[in-house]
Amino acid sequence: MVLLLDGNAVSQSVKQDLRQRVERLQHHGVFPGLGTLLVGNDPASARYVAGKHRDCAEVGIKSIKYDLPESATTEDIIRTVDDLNADAQCTGFIVQLPLPKGTDTHAVIDEIDACKDADGMHPYNLGQLVLHVSGEISTPLPCTPRGILELLAAYNIDLDGKNVCVVGRGITIGRTIGLLLTRKECNATVTLCHTGTRDLHEQMKRADVIIAATGQPGIVQANDVKDGAVLVDVGIARIQDKTTGKWRISGDIDTSARNVASAYTPNPGGVGPMTRAMLLTNVVETAERQAFGK
């Protein structure tokens, strides 16, 4: 029987653990807070930020919300980032991407205090991940890659010695998850594929695990998957039904591919909830390091 990797269920378990850890922190006079900075009025970004604040309420983390208009300049955004850096009630925060056209996104990210980088995507924190091939890392980890590994671990999927094909070279997943997968604790072998990969079908067919993160619906088909592979679908796209005209969410992995897999993540309901849970985890862990010297 094919195993469904339920991100909703596992994320709830993570949140239950976080609730207890937040209560312990509060008992010691430490109150974790998550800040968000939303620039503009993109509906998808607004929904995502709102979801993060609902998650905060579930586990007892304080919500700190900053909104700026679409017309905000890079300098305006950086000033707000500096406010969040200085806010003692803010344990960690995120700048919701994408930022409006014309914004210097790299300059904004560079301005974030690396200790408060709840996304785990600051250059300093990624650099620490590069340096530490094994052992404990005391800086925030990138949320989506970490969420994927936590989800696989929850279902006892061992990655030691496995061949993992990552499809997509975006910074959120493709260029970062290999850093976690190739640490000695994971010990996987990673092939990173992208638009320049000439033998994509063959690369995927050899993989024990496929992690697809391109945003191209159905880029992974059943004939791309070897029997018993594990399928992790991270890509999200909105497609319109030709018959009804209604829009729906589609992932990178065609549903027919599940028939030859040993396990798969649904989309939605797989990696997404885990990403949000790891965001909260980064915030709580930062507070614990401050409070207990972890």
* Catalytic residue from among 55, 117, 119, 254: 119
Compute the distance between CA of residue 218 and CA of residue 255 in angstroms, rounded to an integer: 8
158 is catalytic: no
DSSP-based three-state secondary structure for 68: strand
119 is catalytic: yes
* Catalytic residue from among 15, 55, 96, 252: 96
- Radius of gyration for the alpha carbons in the chain, expressed in angstroms and rounded: 19
Report the candidate in 149, 97, 148 with the shortest Cα–Cα distance to residue 118.
97
CB 279 within 8 A of CB 49: no
Write down the number of H helices and E strands in the chain. Answer: 9, 11
Rounded-to-5 percentages of helix, strand, coil across the chain: 45, 20, 40
* Catalytic residue from among 52, 162, 208, 224: 52
Compute the distance between CA of residue 220 and CA of residue 144 in angstroms, rounded to an integer: 20
Compute the distance between CA of residue 229 and CA of residue 2 in angstroms, rounded to an integer: 10
205 is catalytic: no
Active-site amino acid positions: 52, 96, 119
